[in-house]
Structure 1
Amino acid sequence: MQITTGRPSAVAVSPRGLVLTTATVLALGLLVAPRVYHNYDVVDCFLTWARASAGRRPWAIYLTDFKTNCDYPPVVPYLLTLVEAARRALHASETGALAIILVKLPNLLAYLTAVPLCALGLRRPFGDAAARHAALLAALSLPLFVNAAAWGQFDALLAVLVMAAVVALLHARPVTAGALIGVALGTKLLAIVAVPALAVWTWKRFGAGRLAGAALGGLAVIALLSAPYLVAGAGGRMLQAYVGAVDYYPVRTAEAYNGWYLLDRFDIAVRGVPAPEARLDSRPLVGAVTFREAGVAAFAAYLLMLLVGLARRPTPAALVSAAALSFFGFFMLPTQVHQRYLVPAAALLGLTAAGSTRRLALWMGVSLTAALNQALDLTRAVLDTAVRADPVAAATVSVPGYRGPIRLAACVVAVFNIALFVWATRDYWREVVAARARAE
């Protein structure tokens, strides 16, 4: 069923090996969780918001005014409420090691859920051996580990929900896929990036009627997730988590290491443009066209190319590739993109990576850059926090001394991301868009 070429992996993966690998990753994640974390996200935001719920009222997270108000969709306040309930039951301190582990646990568990999802869910469409290989790659996913265990963000959960929606479609269950996308959209708006590819594939494989059923399933889930907030009068704040996502950071890149990042560094270091001005995406690029508008247009054109190819060749592997490249394109082309938004692309590429040496190499490359993009910016954030909070660190650590090497490394990662993006796009064009239309 796969559209890739090249010699597939011949390494046998046993169920016992998968269990041992998953258990090892879980243990390592629990070891890392309280020691490395993004202080602003985990302590200043998530744990602070969680306490407002008192472990019982998720809507209170929206209704309470904080220094930084909750700007996440409804699933996150539900999870934070459970975290706070567990923290109180265990009599853990508000910002101690156990509290930090608890706030990371939903994403760490979601990340490891990808292992049985692949091992069992991909068996029928791709075969038992390919399914086990995909499960092993999911367990060894460095960007998912960094996101869930180290940073403490919700992109790992989002990625696994999208993976589950893809698997549901491969099992001819579009309504289930729609419901899973509804949960994903209730977690982060970023999930919308996968919707066009999943919708086109559903339409071509199952028809407009089942596509409508999938859409209704997704809308029903979103309605159910939103209902308690609406009843409690928190609907406006919840809606702001969606409509306020655009222009929240009106910059060419929010530390996503892509072409915009390289252009930022060039404008600042070579042209001498002040950093606050250089980073703005509202500046004109050509005539009256701004960087923001150019980025949106580039992504729209790229997405159209992916969808045309998928409509002509709606195979299982083409669905995986189109969904993954939708996220990759979103990471590379529009402005205002965050450093973590390559994680879903890396996770999705792993579903079919073991089918060929070329696909495996692409997965390894994207996984490495997605992990480094997070790790480098997390290192900067950890050092920034240490300098602000520790007088000794403030007196001994040079901020330019560590930011300079991080920026240099980030430029190298950006170059590799551009190369990987060109590689992945070329392969998709050759194997899907330019290939003779055929459905499997």
Structure 2
Amino acid sequence: MPISKDTPISILGSGAWGLSTAIHLLAAGHTNLTVYDRSPEIPSPYSAAYDLNKIVRAEYEDPFYTRLALQAIHAWKTHPAFTPHYHQTGYVVACTGRAPPKAVEHLEKALASIEQDPAFKAGIRRLEGREAFRDYTWQYTGPLSQWKGYYNRLAGYAHSSDSLRSAWEFAARRGVKFVLGEEAGRVTKLVYSGKKCTGFVTADGQTHSSALTIVALGAHGASLLPSLGKFSVARSWSVAHVQLTEEECNLLRGIPTTNVRDLGFFFEPDPKTRLFKLCPLGIGYTNPDAKTGISLPPPDRLPPPQDFIPYEDEKKLRQLLRETFPWMASRPFVDQKLCWFADTADSEYCIDYVPGTENSVICLSGDSGHGFKMMPVFGEWVVELIQRGKQPLERWQWREGSVGGGDWGEKVSWRIGKGAELGELIRAKERVVRARL
């Protein structure tokens, strides 16, 4: 039976999915909503969306997600909280002549999923060779070595941190309450009466009552729901930036979001900061606990690798720049970091009640690197879950036991390479530092 509109609902986490849930619960008429976050301000640095920008595209081998992504793109263009932050610059997807077969195969499957679709067809062009790409990327002065791929007009990026801030302001102006800060906003444990969750405790020792608690903590979710860590792990990818001059920033204004499947991707520079963001592609890095095996982001005050990226990732990005902007290839990388997110082995989301809690706890997890683009519509699915009282879609249900194993996520077609653990990265960095002494 659906809960009443004035039932107290608590949302733990003010990232993309938590804020979207608040907005859509508001739209559905819910009036007693409170969001908790350990950050003193929004955008929260604990969110994977605490970033300059994220790709917004609808190429999926699975038409289920293609349809949802098209709905999200429409909402990016029409919802007042999100329209200022979506930029339809177009999307170039390519492989170099040295790309492994898996990368080429995925590119072809992604293209096949949209090439004949009426929603995309008019804006798709296959590309092969440097000059064909330069019709859309005239600023790219590098060799674009044996590039093959395509251009998709119906795609681009969204400014992610600004989207979080805008969603927060939209929700707060309409009555959603926010409790922020390391003491008052950080939830340390859930409180149960029998099987039913009745609330939670925050770091300041206060107990808060809640009829429905929605855990939307991304990579940190297993800190409150340990069994979540069996199928949704905290994983990180590298992020780096190059500081541009005003003239350089203007030169690259309007370039298509570009994804080279065997190297990495980048966006037009941010006009406010003049930062040019790049990300290498790969499986990513986990941080499993030695006793439990559950991967969580490292403690806040852990020394590097919080301010560096692995050497292998840096090599990919240097090669990406040599292919596209040779004049930038030797520039220092600034604001290097590992971006932590919640990942499932099959890249399916979890949008479900936690079993055994008598429908008192909802878990939102498993964005798997493709969840931010859904921000404008994601909360609709949470509202539907609450109205139904159960999750009918098997793909979004809570999983029991471990999914994957040693090859976690490697069967997902768009992930190239091998993963590693955070401890390995720290030891590798220490060896490099010692070698330079």
Relative to its length, the structure with more strand (as a share) is 2
TM-score, normalised with respect to structure 1: 0.29
Relative to its length, the structure with more helix (as a share) is 1
TM-score, normalised with respect to structure 2: 0.29
